[in-house]
Amino acid sequence: MPKVVAINIISAAKIYAPIKIEDLDEKRIVPKMMLRRRLTRNAKIMLYLADKCDFHGGKIVYGSAFGELQSTVGITDAILSDTQISPTLFQNSVYNSAPSYFSLLNTDKDEIITISSGMRTSKVALQTAALQALISGERVLCVVTECLDINMIEDVNSCAKYLESGAAVVLEIAKDESGVLEIESLKEEGIIESLQELIQVISMNREGSSKVYISL
Amino acid sequence: MKVFVTGMGLISAIGNNVAENLRSLKNTKTGIAKAEFLQSNYTSSILFGEVKKSNAELIKLTDSTSESGLTRTTLLSYVAVLESVADAKLNSNEIQSFETGFISSSTVEGMTHADELYSDTNLTGEPSEFVHSFGSGEHVHRVAKKLGIKGITSSINTACSSSANAIMFGARLIKSGRLNRVIVGGSDALAKFTVNGFNSLMILTDEPCRPFDIDRKGLNLGEGAGYLVLEAESVCKGKKKYAEITGYGNANDAHHPSATSPEANGPKLAMQRALKIAKINPSEIDYINAHGTGTQANDNVEALGIEKLFGKAVSVSSTKAITGHTLGAAGAIEAIISCETIKQGKIPPQTNMKDQDNKNINIPTETISKQVNYVISNSFAFGGNNTSVIFGGVK
């Protein structure tokens, strides 16, 4: 049978909106305008969540099922219309753009791993973060974001009420296993499946359970 | 807990299995040529490292005719995964045990069909068979289903360092006692998306790429898949072993979204972290399989990082000169070449380099036969994500 490890949630944050999250406090979090102007939506949400979790450096596991979809669409549009692709758009299309901007902003040279495992993304991101914490003995930021607000999304979207969403926890390995709970299988309505596991951990944390088991 | 490589599978522009790849390497037979299967405006003007099989041939080769929506990325992963588990002589009980995981990577996956899918969204009628294959983790689900893998599965997507990170993650799962066995690697197919994207950066060349040459003009995009079976020492006694994974390190440059720092801080830190885990000194490394894309920026920085850490004491070459840059698969493909370098005691030369740029590092242009104890394989990526993996001989 699968093994488990007990993790302790140090801090947590989540945010979502039907179309676009309005206030991500970008000017305070990213004072340099040149850097701020390059940020993708995923990066802005990730930086906001890291700030809410009071995390400013260290190991990061970032996840996104769909990655930088807006950059992908921009590039695909350019290919279909046979027009020039913006180099910045292509640089921003890689799935690790968001945590890379975090490392730039915070001059963080520590390890960053990016996960994209479809609808299992937050489950796998939590497993990866737990392994990082287990091996290093350090606190790890686990953050998953999704930005689905693209042209014609209403024609293909049947799975998420909120087109922009993100969730983050800072975790460490629990020092003892007293009061550790299994992650509940409840789901928060309208949130994309790829975020659900992390959202559940945050909900349990807000109800007073700071320790959960991660299958690993 | 020691982690050994007990099986390997590989398909690339220079061969459809490990043996064919090794033969091409030995004879420095290049896979860089005009693309036959890629549909792109650039197929007549740019050279690629394309796998010499059509999708129909790959479907037949992997006995996958009953599956729909199979991307070229998934098909390439099937070929290499199946070869790796056969090579490691894993039986179905071992593959389907909770103690066996699958950690893979891809940067492209279903983006091979991005334009087709995007055009589809506002049309009526049946959607494309590839609509569920877009996500970069799709090949992981498909491989896990095909083989019946029940242990931990994951898809890592850190651009060009993806499969090096998959190897690192897999080794950690074993070292930490979570799993006994992990199949690790990556797969990427050529796609309009990446061809047009890299072209916008003006770093694709119309000639075979020349890593570390003073007149290098850029990179050749390639495609392929590489997988390694990693096993804990406790479960592979008496089995054939190619190498031991002794060290790994990941570091972020924190310098620029797509360029490494001119001082080579990130690459140097990744190699230093790997050496620390391996508990060896730089002088013990015999060969570095460089990231070596053939672009001005990468090769300058990587050479400087190597110069600072190793000087001229270690042989360096980039096999991307004949395979092309296979993006998410590159780390795994080059890991396999690194393991074979140790096993065969033959250091691959730098192909296509006529006039060495940084002369403070040692880049051989002929094969070197010698005992190889330790090899570093470097993989660097957009966003400044740098990973180095160290392979050691089996003791």
Kindly report, residue by residue over A139-193, the tens digit of the pLDDT: 999 999 999 988 777 776 777 899 999 999 999 999 998 999 999 888 899 999 9
- Could you write out the DSSP letters of every residue in B53-109? S-HHHHHHHTT-TT--S--HHHHHHHHHHHHHHHHTT--HHHHTSTTEEEEEE-SSG
Q: What is the dihedral of CA A30, B387, B292, A93, to 10 degrees?
A: -40
Query: B154, A76: Cβ pair inside 8 Å?
Result: no
Active-site residue flag, B209: no
Mean pLDDT of A103-107: 96
Query: A131, B176: Cβ pair inside 8 Å?
Result: yes
CA distance B345 to chain A (A): 32
Residue A35 predicted with pLDDT over 60: yes
> Which of A75, A109, A134 has its CB closest to that of B269?
A109
**What residues in A contact B98, CB-CB < 8 Å?**
1-2
pLDDT of residue B118: 73
CA B332 to chain centre: 3
Residue A99 predicted with pLDDT over 80: yes
Q: Do the beta carbons of residue B184 and residue B166 sit within 8 Å?
A: yes
Query: A111, B251: Cβ pair inside 8 Å?
Result: yes
pLDDT of residue B166: 98
- Running DSSP on this structure, what letter comes out for residue A90? H
- Running DSSP on this structure, what letter comes out for residue B135? S
Query: A103, B158: Cβ pair inside 8 Å?
Result: no
CA distance A211 to chain B (A): 20
Q: Do the beta carbons of residue B314 and residue B285 sit within 8 Å?
A: yes
Measure the CA–CA gap between B165 and B335, rounded to whole angstroms: 11
Give the model confidence (pLDDT) of A153-167 as tens digits. Answer: 777 677 789 999 999
pLDDT of residue B177: 95
Active-site residue flag, B113: no
Active-site residue flag, B141: no
**What residues in A contact B252, CB-CB < 8 Å?**
100, 103, 108-112
Of B160, B209, B236, B339, the catalytic one is B160
What's the maximum distance between 2 C-alpha atoms anywhere in chain B? 64
ipTM: 0.95
State the best of B131, B155, B182, B199 to mutate against chain A, taking most chain A CBs within 10 Å: B155
pLDDT of residue B111: 75
Tens of pLDDT, residue by residue, chain B (395 residues): 999 999 999 999 999 999 999 999 999 999 999 999 999 999 999 999 999 999 999 999 999 999 999 999 999 999 999 999 999 999 999 999 999 999 999 998 877 777 777 776 655 566 777 777 777 789 999 999 999 999 999 999 999 999 999 999 999 999 999 999 999 999 999 999 999 999 999 999 999 999 999 999 999 999 999 999 999 999 999 999 999 999 999 999 999 876 788 999 999 999 999 999 999 999 999 999 999 999 999 999 999 999 999 999 999 999 999 999 999 999 999 999 999 999 999 999 999 999 999 999 999 999 999 999 999 999 999 989 999 999 999 98
Query: B385, A115: Cβ pair inside 8 Å?
Result: no
pLDDT of residue A1: 67
CA distance B28 to chain A (A): 32
A1 → chain B, closest CA residue = B98
Residue A115: closest CA among A98, A133, A135: A98
pLDDT of residue B123: 59
pTM of the entire structure?
Answer: 0.97
**What residues in B contact A66, CB-CB < 8 Å?**
135
Residue B97: closest CA among B209, B213, B183: B183
Query: A134, B176: Cβ pair inside 8 Å?
Result: yes
C-alpha distances in angstroms, A17 versus A25, A50, A163, B70, B239?
Answer: 15, 18, 7, 34, 54
B100 → chain A, closest CA residue = A2
C-alpha distances in angstroms, B77 versus A80, B25, B83, B189?
Answer: 28, 21, 10, 10
Of B113, B139, B236, B325, the catalytic one is B325
CA distance B25 to chain A (A): 30
pLDDT of residue B124: 56
C-alpha distances in angstroms, B332 versus A86, B10, B123, B184, B378?
Answer: 30, 9, 39, 8, 10
Query: A75, B265: Cβ pair inside 8 Å?
Result: no
A130 → chain B, closest CA residue = B173
CA distance A134 to chain B (A): 8
- Could you write out the DSSP letters of every residue in B286-318? -EEE----S-HHHHHHHHHHHHHHHTTSSEEE-
CA distance A62 to chain B (A): 10
Query: A112, B41: Cβ pair inside 8 Å?
Result: no
Query: B154, A99: Cβ pair inside 8 Å?
Result: no
**What residues in A contact B165, CB-CB < 8 Å?**
113
> Which of A89, A100, A116 has its CB closest to that of B137?
A116
Confidence of residue A20 (pLDDT cuts 50, 70, 90): very high
Q: Do the beta carbons of residue B209 and residue B265 sit within 8 Å?
A: no
